[in-house]
């Protein structure tokens, strides 16, 4: 089985770490786009909720797949 393709962040204004963190926050926790926008603004990163929505549409599936892969499965032992 081949490894899933990593999303390409080339051509974006923000570094890959910022985009990854924003998309991860949105998909991992029950936060709205505006809440993620406020969290990033608190850290000095000004980005609109519409940009976050577009990042979520483009990069979200890869992050959601990673999160799902890490969750414990039925029958897993502690």
Q: What one-character DSSP code corresponds to residue 31? A: -
What CA–CA distance (Å, rounded) separates 58 from 62?
9
The pLDDT value recorded for residue 34 is 96
User: Which residues make Cβ contacts (< 8 Å) with residue 22, sequence separation at least 6?
Assistant: 36, 40, 47, 52, 55
What CA–CA distance (Å, rounded) separates 56 from 41?
18
The pTM (predicted TM-score) of the whole model is 0.73
- Token pair recorded at residue 15: 């570094």
Digit-coded pLDDT (tens) for 3-56: 555 677 788 889 999 999 999 899 889 999 999 999 999 999 999 999 999 999
**Predicted confidence (pLDDT) at residue 64 exceeds the cutoff of 70:** yes
Confidence of residue 1 (pLDDT cuts 50, 70, 90): very low
Longest CA span, the chain: 43
């Amino acid at each position: 089985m081949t490894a899933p393709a990593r999303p390409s962040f080339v051509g974006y204004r923000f570094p890959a770490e910022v985009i990854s963190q924003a998309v991860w926050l949105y998909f991992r926790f029950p936060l709205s786009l505006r809440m993620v926008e406020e969290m990033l603004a608190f850290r000095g990163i000004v980005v609109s909720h519409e940009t976050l929505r577009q990042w979520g549409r483009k990069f979200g599936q890869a992050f959601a797949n990673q999160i799902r892969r890490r969750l414990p499965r039925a029958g897993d032992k502690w």
